[in-house]
């Protein structure tokens, strides 16, 4: 995670204990926490951190392109630190588990010009839904 902290510092980010803690919480593969979960884990490390700061910091990380927002369910947004490798999500419809996946081909090419209605398309968001092995076994 010092990678991320270094990058942020290099971009002129003012380093505070709160920001460091939020960045540390968002470390790892297949991490997809809600803002509230991030807050809860941040509080473990820094009890006086406020909800507003977590929201602010997450918003800044998203603006900087260091973290992605994903909405796999209709409840809270989730934050995905795996922003530097394009990927999609695979969600278990029962337990809500989320995995990052990497499809073949460019998903943008699936949409023919005749279906683009003159839009300039820049991005696709793809979420696969199914049942994970654990839930299938249960």
* Residues within the interface to DNA (CB under 7 A): 9, 13-19, 34-36, 46, 48-53, 55-57, 59, 74-77
* Pick 52 or 121: Cβ nearer a second copy: 121
Place of tokens 């073949």: 104
Could you tell me which of 40, 47, 2 has the C-alpha nearest to residue 23?
2
Which of 24, 34, 90, 96 is the binder for a second copy (CB under 8 A)? 90
- Token pair in block for residue 11: 């971009």
Residue 103's binding partner among DNA, a second copy, none (Cβ under 5 to 8 angstroms by kind) is a second copy
Task: Please report whether residue 129 would count as binding a second copy according to CB under 8 A.
Answer: yes
Inter-CA distances, 106 with 61, 91, 126, Å: 26, 20, 11
29 binds a second copy (CB under 8 A): no
| 95 is an interface residue for a second copy by CB under 8 A | no
Query: Residue 54, interface with a second copy (CB under 8 A)?
Result: no
């Amino acid at each position: 995670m010092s990678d991320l902290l270094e990058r942020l510092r290099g971009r002129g980010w003012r380093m505070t204990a709160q920001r460091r803690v939020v960045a540390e919480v968002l470390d790892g593969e297949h991490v997809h926490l809600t803002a509230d979960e991030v807050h809860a884990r941040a509080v473990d490390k820094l009890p006086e951190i406020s909800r507003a700061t977590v929201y602010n910091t997450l918003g800044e990380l998203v603006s900087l392109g260091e973290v992605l927002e994903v909405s796999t369910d209709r409840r809270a947004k989730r934050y995905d630190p795996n922003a530097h490798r394009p990927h999609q999500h695979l969600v278990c419809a029962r337990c809500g588990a989320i995995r990052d996946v990497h499809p073949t081909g460019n998903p943008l090419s699936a949409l023919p010009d005749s279906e683009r209605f003159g839009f300039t398309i820049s991005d696709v968001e793809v979420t696969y839904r199914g049942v994970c092995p654990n839930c299938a076994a249960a």
